[in-house]
Structure 1
Amino acid sequence: MSRYQKVFLIDDDELHNFLCESIIRSYKFSASVTSFLWAEEALQTLASLSQEDPASFPEIIFLDIHIPGMNGWEFIEEFKKLPGGLIQNCQLFVLSSAIDKQNPSPSPQQSVVTDYFSKPFSPDILNIISDMYLVR
């Protein structure tokens, strides 16, 4: 049985998304995994779900910061404008090769970020999430 029902991945690297999806599926971490190459597309999907099907809103989002178009920090600012009840029940994890956990960002955007992880994505990240953040 999967720990979560729905996970979103937002990263402009198709190979990285494929790797993440494979790990998430093989460890039965989530029943459903959806990847987005563009933050704008993910945000539009989240906005639609919040209006049309709130029960399908993801429980976890893995977000890269350095992506073309709308970057991760801009995504976070827009994400914070979605209905509060939905974003409070969604854990947002920044997953990037350029994260300094001691000082991830100079802005207050961190308020909706659950945690920061450095790439590459691995089963260890899923174990940390399960141990520290899984709602039991």
Structure 2
Amino acid sequence: MPQKKIYIIDDDPIYKLVTKKLIEKTNLFSHTKEFSNGSEAFEYFESTKDIPEVILLDLEMPEMDGWEFLTEFCSLEKRLHKESTIYIASSSIAIEDKEKAKKYKCVKAFLSKPINLEKLESIAGED
């Protein structure tokens, strides 16, 4: 089974650094890329059509937050006929956020930060 690409969309530079290092150390994914907010990621996806198999998405970000990104991204997926599996990676423990996440068909799961090896192995193994 070919390895998947995994992209991180989060405004926390330390979280991104630690998560990216963990991902690279595991060799579970073929490629990692990171973005600081939803609009930066969306513009990249729209212009390159490079949609990864997996996205780790934060909710609280400047410019375009995770919810706004999800709305835009779901329509982009339809236009490009490509699908990505999105995992919301958040420090939020709000039940409302977890419930809201279920309304987006492209969201696979709601993960609590930080992302650990066990979570990455589970993500890499899912179809």
Deviation, 1:81, is 1.1
* Distance in 2 of aligned mates of 1:103 and 1:57: 24
Q: TM-score, normalised by structure 1?
A: 0.81
**1:53 is matched with which residue?**
none
- Deviation string 1:61-100 (CA, Å, 9 cap, x unpaired) is 000001112110010000011142212xx11110000045
1:62-73 → structure 2 map (5 Å cutoff):
62-73=56-67
Distance 2:61 2:71 in 1: 15
User: Aligned equivalents of 1:99 and 1:110: distance in 2?
Assistant: 18
- Give the RMSD, CA atoms, in angstroms: 2.2
**Equivalent residue, structure 1, for 2:120:** 126
Contact 2:88 2:110 in 1 (8 A): yes
1:11 counterpart = 2:10: yes
Q: Match of 2:24, as an amino acid?
A: R
1:80 to 1:34, Cα distance in 2 relative to 1, 3 A: same
Q: 1:121 to 1:101 in 2, by over 3 A?
A: farther
Alpha-carbon distance in structure 2 between the residues aligned to 1:69 and 1:101: 24
Deviations 1:43-78 (A, max 9, x none): 00111122xxxxx42111000001112110010000
Counting matched residue pairs gives: 125
**d(CA) in 2 for partners of 1:25 and 1:32?**
8
Structure 1 runs, 4 residues or longer, greater than 4 Å off: 100-103
Change in Cα spacing, 1:30 to 1:101, as seen in structure 2 (3 Å) is: farther
Deviating more after overlay: 62-71 vs 98-107: 98-107
Sequence identity of aligned pairs in percent? 27
Q: Which runs of 5+ in 2 are unaligned?
A: none
Pick aligned residue for 2:68 from 74, 86, 90:
74
